[in-house]
Every structure is written in structure tokens, then in C-alpha cells.
Amino acid sequence: MELEETIKQIKPLDHAAMESARARQDTLTKPRGSLGRLEELSIQLAGITANPLPSVERKTVIVMAADHGVTREGVSAYPAEVTPQMVSNFLRGGAAINVLARQANARVVVVDMGIAGEISRSRLKRDLLERRIGSGTANLAQGPAMTPEQAEESIQRGIEIAEAEIARGADILATGDMGIGNTTPAAAIACALMNQPPENIAGRGTGVDDEGLKRKIAVIARALDVNKPNGNDPLDVLTKVGGFEIGGLAGVILAAAANRKPVVVDGFISTAAAMIAVALASATRDYMIAAHVSQERGHKLMLEWLGLNPLLDMNMRLGEGTGAALAFHLIEASTRILREMATFDEAGVSEKSD
């Protein structure tokens, strides 16, 4: 679907399915509400899928990678060559996201949205989806990161990839990212949309020191000053201070919502993408599950802006979709509870005496 049509397709949750799931929860052999967030999750999933007994058996993590011109400003602890190196690692199955996705029985889809360097081993490239918008973004500290056409195209590619995964049978999607330097555009997006100063949002990313963090905050301040992104226009924000993988992930999230599939939003980068998606279509929020609160400075504020309550708090800050892969277990637990637990009647258990 085209972006405009996708946005139009995003409807409210199905309240009848939610009521039905809630009613079933209250017949299961446990005190009402005693499974807390597991119960709430199952009800949200019923609303998302319009199915009173939702399933999240078939899981896909979409990991989008791209490079960032702003790395020339010295905002990252790692050199830009690490982006293609880590993508090769994803394709060989050796990265954290591969390990955690295997455990969760989830498929990993790796997308090149605009890596600058070369992916080393050509035989691995068969498994890489090439949807390159460019060879890395321009340096957002000096001008727009991309053109408005590239911004829209990045979202469009994300929509197409998500739709292909849903057509393949995915019950639930999750977002992941790889891109050296990408906490800088993610923070800049959050600053622009929330009207927050960079020092409230920017963090250490992969691990810059005090001086590096200062430099990063100054770079974001300069980017906002040079580009003047319009916080009421998410496409303008993505164009001026975004990244190709962030646009792609916003597209994945919008397509999930338009197709009534839950989407698990990972950490800092994915949440910036989620903010773009919600700014484009506010109902998208209800289709999201926030996996975890990351250690990265502004993440908590960003989740609050979205109105999302993260499932996990594990002091993680890796990205790749690792938090989302962990959250899959909890989300699946919620659906299994709804499907597999005995009711008071079935089990012959006495109900509460009131």
C-alpha cells in the first residue's frame, strides 16, 4: 500500500474482541486480575487482531541497517565500518539478535536501507534485503540528512517489507536497528517532535565518554538550529534529522497497524521511528507494545510521550531488536494463558466468596 492509503487503513482497536478476551480472563482459574500485565496484553492483542483468542506464534524481527553522515562529527564510540561488519554478523547468525530470536523461535529479516560500506562476504548477501535509499545519509549537522523524496521512500520501503512478512504469515512484528551513529538522529527526532533540548534526550549510545557526549549534544543542537525541522510535520523531521533505517522502521510500524498486527517496539532508535509513525497516524500507538526501557538517556521521556509502558527494564542499550526478542516471550505467554488455562467451571474450582 502507498503511505497515504496505509495511514487511512489504521483503525481503532476492536472493542468487541477486547471485551470477549476480558470476559474470558475472568473465567480462568486465578483471582481476577492476578496476572496483571499478562491479562492486559492479551486484551490488547485481541483488540489489535480483532480476535478474542489471538495468536503470536509466528514472529518476525525486521532489522534495518543504514549509515549516517553525522558520524564525521565524532558522535560514536565505534567507526562507521562497523555497520556493514555487524550486518555480516547478522547474516551469519552470530549477533545478539540472532541468539535471542532463535530462542524465541522468531525469524530475522535483515534490510540494507543505505549502508555506506561494503558487506564483506558475497555469499551472505543472498539473505540481505537491499532497499537502499542512498549510501548513508548526509551530515545532518550541516544540512538536511536526506531529501523529502528519500524520507517518503524510506517509509514506503518499510511498509512493503512489513506487508511481505505479513503475507508470509507473520502474526507479530518487531523492530530492530543497526547503524553506527544512529542514536544522534534518533535523539534529534525526539527533540524536534517533543520540543525538548538535546541534553534531556541524548545519551552515550554505544559508549562515548563525557567529552563525546558533550560533542554529541552540541551536534544535535547545531542540527536543529541549521535545519529547523518542523515538529508538527513528521516527514520534515525525518528529512532533516532522520535516518534511512528510522524511516524504514516507521513504515514497518505503520504497516503492522494498518494490517491489524501487533508490533513490538525495541529501544531508543525504534522508539524514534515509532514517534514518527504516531505523529503521522495517532491510532498507530494502540498497535505497539514497548519492549523495554533502554539505558539511553531520553528513552523514558519518549515512551511517556507515546503513552507506552515498557514490559522490561534490563539496563540494555544494544538495539538490533534485542529487547523486542526478549519481550516476545512475555507477549506469547499472555496469549497462551488466554488459550490454554482451564476455567473455574472446567476445573471444578470454587469462585471467590463474595
Catalytic residues: 320
Q: Minimal distance in Å, beta carbon 48 to its own copies?
A: 19
Please report whether residue 72 would count as binding its own copies according to CB under 8 A: no
C-alpha torsion sign, points 182, 186, 191, 197: negative
CB-wise, 120 or 230, nearer to its own copies? Answer: 120
38 vs 263, beta carbon nearer its own copies: 38
Cα separation, 206 vs 75, whole angstroms: 10
Which CB, 236 or 245, lies closer to its own copies? 245
- What is the grid cell recorded at 347? 476445573
Q: Shortest distance, CB of residue 99 to its own copies, whole angstroms?
A: 4
H-run or E-run covering 69: none
Q: DSSP string covering 110-178, please?
A: EEEEE-SS--S-GGGGGGEEE--SSSS---TTTS-SS-HHHHHHHHHHHHHHHHHHHHTT-SEEEEEEE
If one asks whether residue 91 binds its own copies (CB under 8 A), the answer comes out as no
Binding mask 29-68 for its own copies (x = CB under 8 A): xxxxxxxxxx------------------------------
Q: Which of 210, 211, 225, 354 binds its own copies (CB under 8 A)?
A: 354
| Helix boundaries (H) for 201-321 | 210-227, 234-241, 244-258, 268-280, 299-306
Give me the DSSP letters along 4-46: HHHHHH-----HHHHHHHHHHHTTBSS-TTTTHHHHHHHHHHH
Q: 262-281 mask for its own copies (x: CB under 8 A)?
A: --------------------
Q: Minimum CB separation from its own copies for residue 228, in Å? A: 32
Q: What residues make contact with its own copies under the rule CB under 8 A? A: 28-38, 77-79, 81-82, 85-86, 88-89, 92, 94-96, 98-100, 102-103, 120, 206-207, 209, 295, 311-318, 322, 326, 329-330, 332-333, 336-337, 340-342, 346-354
